Chains A and B, each alone.
Chain A
Amino acid sequence: MRGKRKKTDVKLLYFAWLKTKTGLSEEDVSPPENVATVGELLTWLEGRGPEFADALSDRDAIRVAVNQAFAKNSDPIGPNDEVALFPPVTGG
Chain B
Amino acid sequence: MIRVQEQDFDIGKELAALTGGNTAIGGLAVFVGLVRDIAGGSDIQAMTLEHYPAMTEKMLAEIEAEARERWPLEASLIIHRYGRLEPGDQIVLVAAASAHRDAAFEACQFLMDWLKTKAPFWKLEETDAGAQWVDARSSDDAAAARWVKQDPDAAE
Contacts and interface: CB of A to CB of B under 8 A. Distances in A.
Size bracket of the A interface:
10 to 19
A34 interface: no
Given A15-B52, A16-B133, A92 B122 contact: no
Given A65-B120, A90-B135, A15 B50 contact: yes
Interface residues of B, number: 27
Interface in B33-52: 33, 49-52
Nearest to B60: A91
B112 interface: yes
Interface of A: 13, 15-17, 20, 65, 68-70, 82, 84, 86-92
Interface of B: 33, 49-52, 54-55, 58-59, 80, 91-92, 112, 115-124, 133-136
